[in-house]
Chains A and B, each alone.
Chain A
């Protein structure tokens, strides 16, 4: 198998990119490793999910109600598929649809036009997005600390909420753009940052926070030659284009360029509030009578918010200002929304987290194994709960 060559990052350090010519073989092995992880994680978890749909169905007879692909369509996945099928404006389309940015459903639409089944198209796009994201993550991790690439891609592919890298959600497409943008930014190839940043911006509103993080990354590199400033400025403008295009589209169909805020509020009650009252609301609802599923979810939201704060602090302590800004703004937006919602899933897009963790398990095999096992177990739980239709962020 192709992954066999490199091995555990902590024992055998793959060649550092800096000391290696950008040869075709090194590049292709990165893509092959990322592909092995993408395919392997899907084989394991898609089989697991389908097995769970049998094993946990003790009250029915015969084969499970949903097929092996359909079990991946719940919650926002059905909204993305509805937008892909009916558009934002169709009478059958999901209500409050404009809260979902267009690039992911548009890509599904392109594949269904080519004859693909919509669910399969969504799963395929997530797989390709994950592949690109992991390949760039490998190179990013290796460029920051040689020997950490392998762990970093495993940690992201097996993140506790990595079920959303498999399901038809926009997270993997967003990460493909965000990680590639930061990769080029970190190696000062500012002219290459624009396109991937635009992909991220077109996939999720969080692209705005990515652009802010990239701007701070530029400032923290402290090199303001005219050419660099021009390149970076141009890239940030390109990164903003999808937002402008979407806003133009929304002002045409809804009369308000920022209608996605309206839909966020109408659909999910998300409005801007101060962090203290968001915290209070989130803590107070712990006492509400709710399903066991929601009661557990409320508690995990609070834990996830604290983990997120810890990650931002960690990035700041390591003086990674670009990463700290990106994650900090992302969390600030969530922590000043009416109540905590989906924070565990959003932590998946805080990709610097896996770089930090890979850094700290580097050269410590036991820490690597324990973390790998723990994150895999949590992800398995997420896959089971989500594909069974339980709320899972």
Chain B
């Protein structure tokens, strides 16, 4: 069933500093062996929960009728969760969709939070699902940017509140990567992010590789961008690598982080008092390039940058 959000009282989102977890990695299908052999390298594991279940989609029932767990991957998750905190980083809420809001998916995250006690959870500031005919949905094929307009701010703020009411752990949104410029936006991206976090109490998952990618493709100074953000709302940072595709630099999670991303991380951590985690993301296909030692090097570098920034 496709529903529109209803207005709700603003929830009390914890504004106190979260426990500083340290440095983690985003789960991908190449990682199970690494997690078994090198778990000591991680302070936490971040997971995309949608990788651990199949989803029959809107109208596909509730709970286990709709979301069927994939046993083999959940077994790996359970092994790690016994030893390390687990963070949920969802891809499927599609919080920016104008005509679709999937409350049953929020319930599923709430159920998983009850099971894994996420210190926080997050999703993306974008949309990728849309309402289709006969209650079915249409998928955009990639996370698409939203215009930074008042109308969109109000829409997403309402959805954030709905998430906060149902999932009793801080909720963060991640800044998106975008490859086209939408003209005539009512706000700049930093202004939109600052207002969204201020008006909802939602935290910011600042993906500094996304900032770096956007800066390269759209010709702005990423450090100036970071300086415009209210870094007091940043709870988590993502770092990653990328490469070129069709004439643009992309956030493809292609192996190790480029040097400018480490520099940007240093600037962010120096000004982010609530920062609780730095997560390294890489695509599974780059595991042979990185190997266990390569992953450790990225994690160690993140720790060094964080420590150096005090």
Pair from one complex = no
Residues of B within 8 A of A (CB): none
Residues of A within 8 A of B (CB): none
